[in-house]
């Protein structure tokens, strides 16, 4: 796949250069203007020159920094750091345009390589991280997930001829394909480990000759074969080990075992990415079963539709069982099918409870329903179950594998074209998720209040709202008296009309949050704190009141 080995330059020489450019440096001087509170020109003893605004002797406001190595930054500063919107012109011909936080690209931006590649998307701590697109000089491009400057997660690659490959990447490598659109196939394919030893023509047999450096191959006594780098006569560095049992490992190798970052391709088709130490995985990178991202056709209509996925998990094998999560899910599903919840037809709402609520099924249903939504529509995810920081726990969570990461949920939300996106989660640590059919098939006219409900979606400006049962560090509680999760109980009470404080017969997301926040805090003695976050319209409707 094109671009797998694209060399990513160090984006931030400015971080190192920022040292020793404080106005307190000896021998530094204000060359003109007001370098205390105003606009001035300041030369630092490193040779770096800043021209721009100062507040209390610190670079704050708009300015230009010309570094001694000929890098040039133009943009916003705050307390001596590049902070806000700005452009860095690198001496090597590269350029970054976008958001800066504390001297590093963070947020949305674009990086232009001198060699004509161009990355546009999310940055984190100066690296490609999040969702982004890399354009190549020959017209090819990749768009999808990135982590630490490498392709990671679901993505799409389009080659210069227009052939499209959908799949999942890990550590910059394509590990799971969902077929090529050019080949008219929807079959999910996985790269299976080779059961035969690969061709080694032209490579040194380092079991016969001493390989002090460079590349070669070595056959282990058990029938496994290493092809890759050597050091001092031993396999050491990057390469591939083809195991005798059909598994394959690609990555860093030391002392005859995986050491460092690498991906294990099992004969079963499972893909496991991790940081390894002496053959043992110590930090997961992509250990979960990859879920094929089969293409989903968007259903474009003029009417507003609501697409929902409802999940309830109580019967865990590696976690304490929960008593009321399945009831919570069924109650929420029933609400959505009612007039108050939008009278959703069966084909627009999916419910997954206990054994059906596997990680793969949840992601599959989210994609199947949410990606069908068009620019007029609403998508909604409800989850009730256990959670850990940064993830929800499906029924097949085994203590390590199959976590449903918040990033995966956000990615599908971001892929959906829906105007309004709502996630309601009743799970411990759910607050760590942050931001960051015909509308009614009933015969005869819909009730006036229901028509107003759907019309309110058209009037609101759209966005993503995340209503979580607790802060990132808190637990979410069930109550035997309510026979429900406390959060879900009050969410449903609010949706049924108790949260309609302005008596307009509609419940907005802001009204629901205020109601749920007060009631949950009061009921739990301030132990549990609901959270509302995201980029949303306060008037986004979430229910219609009947009486």
Q: Given this model, what pLDDT does residue 2 score?
A: 42
Determine the Cα–Cα distance for residues 369 and 296; give it in Å rounded to an integer: 9
Give pLDDT, residue 428. 60
Place of tokens 């958001």: 99
Specify the pLDDT at position 159.
87
**Tokens 């750091």 belong to which residue?**
81
481 contacts: CB under 8 Å, gap ≥ 6: none
pLDDT at 369: 92
CA–CA distances in Å: residue 261 to residues 2, 247, 460: 21, 17, 46
Name the CA dihedral angle for 245, 251, 256, 259, rounded to a multiple of 10 degrees: -120
Q: How far apart are CA 321 and CA 354, in angstroms?
A: 11
List the structure tokens of 157: 């690659």
Helices 509-523/486-493 angle, 10° precision: 140
Largest CA distance in the chain: 86
**Measured distance CA(336)–CA(450) in Å, rounded:** 12
* pLDDT at residue 296 in the model: 56
pLDDT at 11: 43
Pull the structure tokens for residue 70. Answer: 């000929």
Q: Which two tokens stand for residue 131?
A: 């969702």
Fold of 13-138: 2.20.110
Render each residue's pLDDT in the chain as its tens digit; 547 residues. Answer: 444 333 334 344 444 344 434 444 444 689 899 999 999 999 988 888 999 999 999 999 999 999 988 899 999 999 999 999 999 999 889 999 999 988 899 999 999 998 889 999 999 988 998 899 999 988 899 998 888 888 887 888 888 888 888 877 776 777 666 544 443 333 334 444 444 567 788 899 998 898 999 999 998 878 889 999 999 989 999 999 998 888 888 889 998 888 988 888 877 666 677 788 888 776 766 444 444 455 556 566 677 788 999 999 888 876 777 877 888 889 889 888 887 777 888 889 999 998 898 988 999 999 999 998 888 888 889 998 887 777 888 988 876 678 888 878 888 888 888 888 888 888 764 444 444 422 222 222 333 344 544 454 455 555 777 777 765 444 444 455 566 678 888 888 888 888 888 888 888 888 988 998 998 888 888 877 888 877 777 888 777 666 6
What pLDDT score does 466 carry?
Answer: 76
Contacting residues for 125 by C-beta, under 8 A, at least 6 apart: 104, 106
Domain locations in the chain?
Answer: 13-138, 190-292, 306-544
Answer yes or no: are the C-beta atoms of 413 and 376 closer than 8 Å.
Answer: no
Pick from 68, 69, 65: nearest CA to 91: 69
pLDDT at 459: 53
**What CATH number matches the domain at 306-544, 3.30.565.10, 3.40.50.1460, 3.90.1150.10, 3.40.50.20?**
3.40.50.1460
Task: Identify the pLDDT of residue 76.
Answer: 94
Give which of 119, 124, 172, 160 is closest to 143, Cα–Cα: 119
Q: Which residues of 375-414 are buried (b: 16+ CB within 10 A; e: fewer)?
A: ebbbbbbbbbbbbeeebbbbbbbeeeebbbbbbbbbbbbe
Residue 23, pLDDT score:
44
């Amino acid at each position: 796949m094109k671009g797998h080995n694209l060399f990513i330059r160090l984006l931030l020489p400015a971080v190192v250069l920022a040292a020793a450019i404080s106005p307190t440096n000896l021998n530094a001087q204000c060359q003109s203007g007001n370098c205390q509170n105003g606009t001035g020109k300041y030369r630092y003893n490193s040779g770096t020159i800043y021209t721009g605004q100062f507040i209390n002797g610190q670079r704050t406001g708009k300015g230009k920094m010309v570094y001694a190595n000929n890098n040039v930054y133009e943009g916003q500063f705050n307390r001596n750091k590049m902070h806000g919107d700005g452009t860095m012109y690198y001496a090597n011909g590269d350029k970054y345009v976008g958001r800066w936080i504390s001297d590093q690209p963070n947020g949305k931006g674009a990086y232009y390589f001198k060699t004509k590649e161009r990355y546009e998307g999310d940055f984190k701590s100066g690296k490609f991280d999040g969702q982004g697109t890399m354009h190549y000089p020959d017209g090819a491009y990749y768009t999808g997930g990135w982590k630490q400057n490498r392709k990671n997660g679901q993505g799409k690659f389009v080659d210069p001829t227009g052939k499209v490959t959908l799949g999942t990447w890990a550590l910059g490598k394509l590990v799971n394909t969902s077929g090529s659109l050019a080949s008219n196939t929807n079959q999910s394919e996985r790269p299976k480990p080779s059961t035969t030893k690969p061709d080694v023509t032209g490579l040194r047999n380092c079991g016969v000759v001493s390989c002090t450096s460079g590349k070669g191959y070595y056959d282990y006594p058990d029938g496994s074969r290493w092809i890759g780098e050597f050091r001092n006569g031993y396999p050491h560095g990057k390469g591939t080990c083809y195991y005798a049992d059909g598994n394959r490992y690609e990555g860093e190798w030391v002392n005859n075992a995986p050491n460092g970052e690498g991906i294990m391709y099992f004969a079963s088709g499972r893909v496991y990415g991790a940081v390894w130490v002496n053959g043992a995985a110590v930090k997961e990178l992509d250990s979960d079963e990859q879920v094929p991202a089969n293409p989903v056709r968007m259903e474009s209509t003029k009417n507003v539709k609501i697409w929902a996925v409802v999940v309830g998990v109580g019967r865990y094998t590696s976690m304490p069982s929960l008593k009321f999560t399945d009831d919570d899910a069924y109650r929420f599903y029933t609400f959505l099918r009612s007039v108050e919840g939008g009278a959703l037809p069966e084909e627009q709402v999916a419910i997954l409870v206990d054994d059906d609520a596997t990680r793969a099924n949840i992601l599959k249903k989210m994609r199947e329903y949410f990606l069908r939504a068009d620019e007029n529509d609403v998508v909604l995810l409800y989850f009730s179950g256990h959670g850990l920081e940064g993830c929800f726990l499906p029924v097949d969570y085994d203590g390590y594998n199959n976590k449903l990461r918040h990033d995966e949920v956000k990615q599908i939300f971001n892929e959906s074209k829906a105007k309004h996106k709502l996630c309601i989660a009743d799970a411990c640590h759910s607050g760590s998720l942050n931001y960051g059919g015909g509308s009614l098939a009933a015969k005869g006219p819909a009730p006036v209040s229901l028509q107003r409900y759907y019309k309110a979606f058209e009037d609101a400006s759209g966005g993503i709202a995340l209503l979580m049962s607790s802060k990132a560090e808190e637990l979410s509680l069930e109550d035997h008296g309510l026979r429900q999760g406390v959060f879900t109980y009050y969410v449903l009470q609010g949706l049924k009309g108790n949260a309609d404080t302005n008596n307009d017969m509609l419940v907005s997301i802001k009204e629901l949050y205020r109601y749920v926040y007060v009631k949950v805090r009061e009921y739990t003695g301030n132990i549990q704190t609901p959270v509302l976050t995201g980029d949303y319209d306060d008037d986004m409707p979430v229910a219609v009141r009947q009486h």
